[in-house]
Chain A
Amino acid sequence: MAEKKWPETWQEVTPGCMVFIPGNTREYHTGSWRAQRPVYDFSKCIKCGICYIFCPEGCISENSEGYFVADLDYCKGCGICAHECWPGAITMVEEG
């Protein structure tokens, strides 16, 4: 059974909504908010990491081949990475 994301009833609300599990924000996948997703053309990517620096969500990381890619579980599709990518390796496409 999947773990509950939030209390079902008011009686289950912890006093002051205190959260005792550190880092559990990770379980909340904000990627579902996204209207557009970043698509990469690695032939243009120079691995400079400017997308990683500008991503307000902090969801971009370097993969084993040295390319920077967004974790789509958390990417909200803001498009800042595509805007900042001066070699033009990132295109935003509609989620379908």
Chain B
Amino acid sequence: MTKRTGMEIAFAAAEAAALCRIDVIAAYPITPNTHIPEHLSDIVADGRLDAEFICVESEHSALSACCGASATGARVFTATSSQGLLFMGEVMPIVSAMRLPVVMALGNRALSGPINIWNDHSDIMSQRDMGWISIFASNGQEVVDMVIQSFKIAEHRDVMLPLNINLDGFQLTHVVEPMLFPDQEEVDRFLPEYKPYATLHPDHAVSMGTLGLPEIFTEVMKAKDEALINSKRVILEVWKEWEEQFGRKYEPIDAYRAEGAKVLLLTMGSMDETAEAAIDELHKNKISVGLLKLKLWRPFPVEELRRAVKDAKVLAVMDRAVSFGGASGPVGAEVRSALYDEPDRPLILNEIIGLGGRDMTVGDFVQIAEKAVRAEREKPREGYEIYGVRGS
């Protein structure tokens, strides 16, 4: 029976991973993801889960251990944040190149320096092109659901790619929320046993992580790109199956009050629900602004985005990271690139917000929405702005 339980979201992520009967966990604690591996370590020590918890000396070792364990056919889970993800960086593209379905919970935190343990998206944006599937959760329920969905997506024979679930540090990781937990029988029904494509085994010779000379490297990169693009079909299938079994719907772009709206905001992660409250407030004052909540970052849902904005005149894209010296924030650049060829694309504003844990309130999103409404008349230059920065 599905049970509603109040729990810290980091703990909930660990409980969800345990429900997936993971075989190996290798992780190194770093704020704000720490409670995820810590709680998994408890679960294993208490005998509730028959898994190997590998205590490693660094994040580099954590992901290396995950890579090796996954190559033997184990179901593998890890978690990290910020600088920890950077330290995993060397192994990140190896896991995807070897097509190993490692699942990671990423408690998003700003990159240093100055040292800052609070939330923004600079960690994942720095690892954007590592060939991982990347999804964003708005709240604790989505974290629980996405952890369980992730193994099914990543391990699917038509995907075989690692996946990171992004949950905003503190705003999500440390918040206590009531969540629905499926029971073991329901998870077992949804998530089949992992059947690896190939495993490292002394009886069956196979080489993984081989050399690729210039004569083949381009073709291998094309194959990797196609694998990631094609994973979207399976992601949509798995989300559909989830909806059928559990009744909660997931889409690459989740639209909120966006029907017929000329002005749209686009957000990711924990900003989604604050922005929803702002949209409700604007509607009370008869200002029709819609919201697009981006759940799927890689593969980027180009067609879904084009459909979602086809009637819009202005689209304000929120970014929680700076692409220093670039033309806009990372999400802003992605959205502009995806819409560049569209004949009637909306005017695109790009707001860089909420850096290093700076609060974004309902009022802030209302202000940004009002600026977007004005932009429909005033047609400002499309650049980017670091919202709320003192001195501007």
Contact = CB atoms under 8 A, between A and B. Distances in A.
B141 to A, nearest CB: 33
Contact of A6 (B98, B215, B227): B215
* Range, interface on chain A: 10 to 19
Interface string A72-95: 000000000000000000000000
Interface stretch (A15-23, A50-58, A61-69): A15-23
Contact of B220 (A17, A19, A21, A22): A17
Contacts of B218: 10
Interface stretch (B31-39, B202-210, B323-331): B202-210
A17 B227 CA distance: 13
Contact of A10 (B198, B206, B223): B223
A59 interface: no
Contacts of B197: 15-16, 18
B214 to A, nearest CB: 10
Contacts of A19: 206-207, 210
A7 B220 CA distance: 9
Interface of chain A, helix or strand or loop or mixed? Answer: loop
A14 B160 CA distance: 12
A83 to B, nearest CB: 27
Interface residues on B, range: 20 to 34
Nearest to A19: B207
Greatest chain B CB density within 10 A among A7, A16, A18 is at A16
A1 to B, nearest CB: 18
B97 interface: yes
Interface in A1-45: 5-7, 9-13, 15-22
Contacts of A16: 97-100, 160, 197, 208
Interface of A: 5-7, 9-13, 15-22
Given A10-B220, A16-B197, A18-B197, 9 more contacts: A6-B213, A7-B216, A10-B222, A11-B223, A13-B216, A13-B219, A17-B220, A21-B205, A22-B207
